[in-house]
């Protein structure tokens, strides 16, 4: 069984993807767990998540449940996929009997205190040996439609063939990595960087500025990944460059939309209200900057985004500040 915790756009898309088995393999049991009974009932009745992923019909084989239900325990061989905002993970895992299941973290973000989502899971009692991180450039709507995509599955030690077989599909290619820290940091920080890149584009500063900001953002990813104990190379893979290019260039992304709205003069609260959903870049920016301070490294683009989010500094002032920094080596 694959139990997906979170019936947002991403969790719903993964349910739709995994409900279609590979050729010659029986379809797995898929459970999609909504936050409330009312939300679950609405999705189940319509066979569609009209609020988060309208137009995508969910197969009847997908069981729609909610956190209000009494959920059965999981056992070895089952998968629990976590696809909820980072600030909700601790409370949700406390309600779910993980048992011997493998846990796949499909959430991308940091807590406001700078915790990675896997650290939150371990603190909630998940064993590191059964913990995996799934990340990459994946738009929910395209995944649900079965369009070709790739992702990286990271874990400690050798890749688990049983987990790979459960998640891979003909249109969803999975690469493996033994750097879960680097993959997780890259996937989280791309949220923050996408706000900055989108904001600069929206101000009309041009593609040169956007490309410079994007590439310097990758340097921040690599720096933070290494400082946390991961590898810089993960910043240059699917979870890093891949996801950042996609997110920063697509206004369907909540983080890119936030950057666009801030550039237009909207307040943070007004922008979030317009978007109408969790924007992971907001808590992640705060958490990343705290983490950088503890580790003794600089993240100037992240610091600029925090100034915009928490101190009402306009995006154009931040761009001027970044351009006016003292000259440094490209890689340090």
Catalytic site residue from 65, 108, 116, 190: 190
Closest-CA residue to 150 (of 178, 132, 169, 131): 169
Residue 131, φ and ψ in degrees, nearest 5: -110, 135
Residue 216, H or E segment: helix 207-227
- C-alpha 147/C-alpha 51 separation (Å) is 21
Q: Spell out a b/e string for 76-114, using b for 16 or more CB atoms within 10 Å of the CB, else e.
A: eebbbbbbbbbbbbeebbeebebeebbbbbbbbbbbbeb
Tokens of 273: 């209200």
Q: Is 11:81 a contact under the CB 8 Å cutoff?
A: yes
Residue 82, H or E segment: strand 79-82
Closest-CA residue to 134 (of 6, 45, 249): 6
Tokens of 254: 């909540």
- C-alpha 118/C-alpha 180 separation (Å) is 9
| Residue 108 designated active-site | no
109 contact partners, CB below 8 Å, separation of at least 6: 85, 86, 117, 188, 191, 280, 281, 283, 284
- C-alpha 63/C-alpha 133 separation (Å) is 24
Contacts 24+ apart (CB under 8 A), 272-278: 277/8, 277/52, 278/8, 278/85, 278/254
Catalytic residues: 190
């Amino acid at each position: 069984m694959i139990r997906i915790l979170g019936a947002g756009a991403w969790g719903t898309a993964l349910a739709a993807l995994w409900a279609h088995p590979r050729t010659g393999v029986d379809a797995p049991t898929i459970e999609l767990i909504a936050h409330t009974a009312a939300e679950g009932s609405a999705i189940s009745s319509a066979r569609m998540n009209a609020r988060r992923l309208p137009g995508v019909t969910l197969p009847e084989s997908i069981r729609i449940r909610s956190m209000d239900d009494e959920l059965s325990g999981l056992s070895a061989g089952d998968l629990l996929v976590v696809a909820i905002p980072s600030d909700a993970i601790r409370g949700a895992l406390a309600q779910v009997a993980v048992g011997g299941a493998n846990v796949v973290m499909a959430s991308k973000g940091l807590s406001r205190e700078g915790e990675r989502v896997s650290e939150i899971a371990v603190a909630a009692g998940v064993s590191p040996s059964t913990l995996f991180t799934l990340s990459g450039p994946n738009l929910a709507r395209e995944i649900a439609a079965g369009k070709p995509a790739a992702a990286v599955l990271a874990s400690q030690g050798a890749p688990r063939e049983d987990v790979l077989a459960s998640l891979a599909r003909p249109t969803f290619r999975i690469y493996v990595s033994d750097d879960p820290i680097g993959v997780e940091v890259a996937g989280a920080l791309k949220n923050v960087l996408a706000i900055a890149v989108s904001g600069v584009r929206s101000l009309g500063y041009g593609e040169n500025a956007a490309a410079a900001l994007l590439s310097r953002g990758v340097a921040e990813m690599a720096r933070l990944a290494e400082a946390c104990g991961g590898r810089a190379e993960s910043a240059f893979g699917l979870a890093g460059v891949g996801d950042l290019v996609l997110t920063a260039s697509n206004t369907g992304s909540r983080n890119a939309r936030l950057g666009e709205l801030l550039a237009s003069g909207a307040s943070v609260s007004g922008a979030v209200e317009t978007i109408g959903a969790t924007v992971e870049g907001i808590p992640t920016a705060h958490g990343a900057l705290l983490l950088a301070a503890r580790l003794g490294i600089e993240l100037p683009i992240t610091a600029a985004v925090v100034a915009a989010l928490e101190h009402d500094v306009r995006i154009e002032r931040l761009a001027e500040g970044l351009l006016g920094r003292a000259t440094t080596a490209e890689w340090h």
